[in-house]
Every structure is written in C-alpha cells, then in structure tokens.
Structure 1
Amino acid sequence: MAATAAVLAGCGNSPDSGQAPAAEGGVQLVAEGKLTTCTHLPYEPFQFNEGGTIVGFDVEIVDLVATKLGVTQEIIDTPFEGIQSGEDLNIGKCDVAAAAMTINEVRQQNFDFSEPYFDATQALLVRADAGITSAEQLAGKRVGVQNSTTGQEWAQSNLPNSELVVYEDLGLLTTAAQTSQVDAAINDNGPLLDFAKKNPEMAVTAEFDTDEQYGIGVRKGNTAMLQAVNEALTAARSDGTYDRIYEKWFGKAPGA
C-alpha cells in the first residue's frame, strides 16, 4: 500500500494551474508526488484517526489508486458540505473525494463518480435496552442524523413525526445516542454496525433497504483521473485485493 499522510486542512492548486507535473498515465495532480484526498472524519471504519494516522477501508481503496499512479496518498479532513457540493474538487483542494459517499443524482450534478465500490443501506442505532426496533416506534422521539447525508434525507422523508437533531459528524451522532441525548440515530449501516460491535450497550435494531452504493468523486470532466480510479477498482476486484481489504475492515467477505 502507498504510505498515507494526514493533514488537518489545506488548499491545493487550482485545477488548471499546471503547477504539479502529471503522474503516471498523464493524470494531473494538485500536488507533485501526491494523490490528495478530501474526506470527513471520523467515519469508522471507512476513515478515522488511529494513533495519529488516518486509516480505514476508504483509505486503503484510494491507496490502490495512488499506487497505480506511482505516488502516495495525502488526506485532507474537511467539512462534508464542501465535499458533496463539489467545491473542494473545483478549487483544487484535492484530486479525489472519498468519504463513504452515496452516489445520487444531486451529487452527480456537482462532480463525477467512479464505479460503485461499496453497497450500503440506512440503519437504526439505539441503546440495547431501548426496545426500539422499527421506524414506527420513532414517532415522538428525538432522532439524531448527520448533516448533509443520505441518512438525514431518509429521516426527513420517513420520520415526519420525529424530532430530528442534526450533528456535524458521525462521532457526535453516535455519542449522542450512547449518552441518551437522542433516542436513536440514523446513518449508514457500515459505521453503525461497527460502533455497536465495539460498544455492547448499543445495538443496530433495524436496517432500511435504500439500495445505496458508494463512489469516489472526481472533478467534473477530469476523465484521466476517473479512468485511473476505475481501473484501480477493477483490478482490485479481479485479483482479490478488494476482498482482502473488505474482510480486514468488516470481518467478512463481500456479500456474506
């Protein structure tokens, strides 16, 4: 895997500045020798800080792209709104956006997505003794959601009689559910199942089939980068690398 560096914030070159030489395959990068990734922390197990290093499933997937380009990955932690709006890509803050991000029509208007690399759905996280196992039981309850996510959108559409409390990141959301600041939390199943596994007083008691798939974002029209990402994903699925990374972070093979 390519070595991964983490930075707290940053601004890259503008997409047309030409300040950084092209990587292998003629892919233009915002910083020489680096594939700069915008993400939003924490979102365990996809991307999170462990001992001062950013690790996770998404990190290792993008490392495959960096290796293909002959560079190392550098990660920028930035607000999710700037990622999903496409602004971070448009101003050259990063080359790609990888933040466990669901492919949808609104985001596709803002930037281009890679081929899907992960299947997801929405889930319900509650304290294990809460007795809440369905969306219907959330009427009149305080339900936590993460800002600008598909979980927030799902809750707005499906929980008209609940009080939605919006949090800026996953860590704040799960802590709110754990400490009973809210009665329940709605978010993608991957991180909520991971949180419940590590915190036995919590449980995921329902999943809502939303047929979501994650994709890696690139600036609109950046066809060379999009091709490099897709080729890396295809190769990883073909040679078993994808399955090994998946099992490392989720404890089971894809589809199991």
Structure 2
Amino acid sequence: MTGTTESKTVLITGASSGIGAATARRMATLGHHVVIGARRTDRLTALADELRSDGATVTPVELDVTSIESMRSFTEAALAEHGRIDVLVNNAGVMPLAPIADLRIAEWEQMIDVNLRGVLYGIAAVLPQMREQGGGHIVNLSSVSGHRVDPTAAVYSATKFAVAALSEGLRQESQDIRVTVVSPGFTRSELTDHGGATEARAAARAAAEELAIPASSVADAIAYAIGQPTDVDVNEIIVRPAKQR
C-alpha cells in the first residue's frame, strides 16, 4: 500500500459496489482510513477483508442512507475508530428509469429518498463534527444527468440537479469545509440493474456496455479533489466517456 503525507478519515456511502467500492479501493491505496457503508453487509465485509489484506485500515458499517439514525450511527462509528471525520463521499444512489407517464410513484419516492434525502442526511451527520474540528470535505455524487435531461430519466435528473444545487448552496455557506460535486457519465456499475421500465433499463444497459468507463476512473477524480491543499476547493468535476454526447 502506498501512503500519502497525510492520512485522512474518509467515509463512503454506497460502498458495496460500483463507484463506492472503487473509491474505497483508491482511498485505501492512498493510505487513508476508510469507513465504508451500505446495506449489503456481506459485500462490505468482503471488500474490507480484501483491503485489509493489503494493509489498509477499513471499517465496514451497515448503512441505510434513507435513515438519519443509521447515518448518524455510521458517522459515530468513524469517530469512535478515528476521532475525526475528514471526508464524506455521498455516493449511494439509485436509477430506475421510466417515462413519467408510467406513474411509478414508489420508484420516484425511492430516488428522492436515496439520491437527495440520503445526501442531506449525510451532510447533517458530518457537518457539526467538521465545523467543530475546523475543516472537512464533502463530496457529493451527482451525474451527467444533473446537467441534462433525457426521456425516461426526468425524475432521476431532478434528484441529481438538486444535489448540484444543494452542494453549491453548502459551498457558499462554508469557509472551512470544502464541497465538491462529481458528475459521472456512463460508468460500469449496478445502477441499471434494478427497477424502472424494461425497455428503458435495456436501453441504458446497452449504452453502458458500449460506452461505459470503469468506476475506477470516477474514483480517481474523487481522489484528485480530496488530494488538493486545504485552501483549494475543487467545486465540480464531470467525468464521462469520450464518446458520450
């Protein structure tokens, strides 16, 4: 494992797969103390074992980002283990795609709960500690769909536009806390595996198979933002396949 000059305590939500797991691996390689959270504890445990075998410091914690109590328990576990919280990566997200006319209201609510409410809960859980310690860094995952709207993705885009707006507001209100929005394009992950209309899901999978970049590319972008000096705030990064339009 290659260490950095400063080891940070980095919390990552949605870390059981995709961008979250790739970010955990990248942070561990850089010598940071990693606290990983997700609902699928079997995957978290396997990831933690993998990273520990390379000498990393990893704490897996069961996490449901739609519960403020669960999010607070997640941050409390990090504090108990390391005494501070330097970075939160709000990564957990869902993307069931479907036309609005399908009226998949339960899936609308799920996207609002995970993609937006989960980010808010993450901020609420770490902000007091970061203010008390005089600094910190919040990285919120938006999407290219937070910059454009496509058919079947209207509700998903709405949540990701909201994440960008929330992040900009937090940035303007903060002096000691850095705020970064990372907006991935098509990335190899499990986002297209669950929910939504069958045709929309198939189209998204086909596009991802043709275009998608590895999750590690997004993890590298997150690592770049985190690795800047404390007086440098990388506010927004868009990472997409070169062929994506």
Would you say same fold, with TM above 0.5? Answer: no
With CA pairs under 8 Å and 6+ residues apart, which has the higher RCO, 1 or 2? 1
User: Looking at CA atoms only, which structure, 1 or 2, has the larger radius of gyration?
Assistant: 1
Q: TM-score, normalised by structure 2?
A: 0.32
Q: TM-score, normalised by structure 1?
A: 0.31
